[in-house]
Structure 1
């Protein structure tokens, strides 16, 4: 047996009506909220508090009383006052003027300026000397004379040095460096010869060879002959 519902008791038939009523109520509440007026809250004038009267303090006025200083009694007066007469006569001295009259001629001795000659102390390096020493046979400019000087010294060393000496001394094969330094003095002679070599006998041979350098034209600095220092390295090949 089936149970039948009363169609009037079915609420689904009234769902559309409920929905419309809900929409109307929502629109009414929204409209009322928009139309509601609000007013700013105002406060009564409380007045300004004056704090300056409370902060003012009464400062008592004080006076500085200075204590009186004890007075010192005046010095006693002398018993007798003697008057001394000045009988000496003062001699007046006449100071003569040293100024000359414009009309008077003044004799002035001729002043001769003497040029002080600057002395060059010590020897000058070969690379900075104004006029380089001239090796016999060299000609040309200062630069050409420098190159010619070095070539002549190397040629002299190669010719005079005993090339077999390093091999005879039993040195290890390879290149051996020899440093030589000497001075061409103011007269053009080669002096103060110094050498560094890998063996004392080689050093002795080097000094012997460099002592045979010829006399040269001395170098000049500011037009005066000066000593000139010269240094040159050599390489010996030991087989």
Structure 2
């Protein structure tokens, strides 16, 4: 009597499933064995920790003092023995720098430097004052100064327009100070004026430029420029 096979009892249908489950189980077991670690008893024990004792006292640094050694003794001086020059060549001669009497220059041969000539000399310090026309007959220098001052004052007061102050609205006493130079040729030069109004200054400059030519002043016998200053005072009556 043959046994009957039940189609539902065929185990070969699930072989693939069982194979996959077996592989998965083997992989999990291998992974677990690889990551498994074991420790020895000696390594696993923990050492007892003992705290360090702290002290509040600071350690004092130790300083070493260098010993001062005595200075070294000076060495004995070395004696130098002179060496005789055995070379046949003659020694170089040293020429003297002394000047012989024949080379002395005579005083007459020395060129004299020209004396310093001042550019402009004030009127009060000039040796020979300029000679204004009409003062030629005077020989004394002080008399020529007084004559020149008088002539220039009369010349200015005769030609200066004193009515200009009233036209400008000025009153009282007004002063215009005029400064000029009498150059080496005896001509008036570098005229300047200071006054209460520019028109008065221009009038003073105009009048001074009308002065006649004079004989120039001299310093040490040479013609020089002479600086002259004169104040012009006039009163304006309202």
Bin for the TM-score computed over the shorter chain: 0.5 to 0.7
Q: C-alpha offsets along residues 158-212 of structure 1, whole Å, 9 cap, x if unaligned?
A: 111112221222212x211111111111111111111112222111111111111
**1:226 match:** 224
Question: Structure 1: 5+ residue runs without aligned partners?
Answer: 1-67, 75-85, 99-104
Distance in 2 separating the partners of 1:150 and 1:158: 12
**1:126 match:** 123
**1:161 match:** 160
Distance in 2 separating the partners of 1:154 and 1:176: 16
RMSD (CA atoms) = 3.3
Q: Mapping of 1:23-102 within 5 angstroms?
A: 89-93=87-91, 95=93
Q: TM-score, normalised by structure 2?
A: 0.56
Counterpart of 1:127 in 2: which secondary structure? helix
Q: TM-score, normalised by structure 1?
A: 0.56
**2:194 match:** 196
Q: Mapping of 1:11-22 within 5 angstroms?
A: none
Counterpart of 1:227 in 2: which secondary structure? strand
Counterpart of 1:234 in 2: which secondary structure? strand
Q: What's the CA shift for 1:114?
A: 2.7
> Number of aligned pairs?
153
Distance in 2 separating the partners of 1:122 and 1:218: 13
Question: Structure 2: 5+ residue runs without aligned partners?
Answer: 1-69, 77-83
> How has the CA–CA distance of structure 1 residues 154 and 71 changed in structure 2, closer, same or farther, with 3 Å as cutoff?
closer
Q: What's the CA shift for 1:134?
A: 1.0
Q: Mapping of 1:112-123 within 5 angstroms?
A: 112-123=109-120
Q: What's the CA shift for 1:222?
A: 1.1
Correspondence 1:175 to 2:173: yes
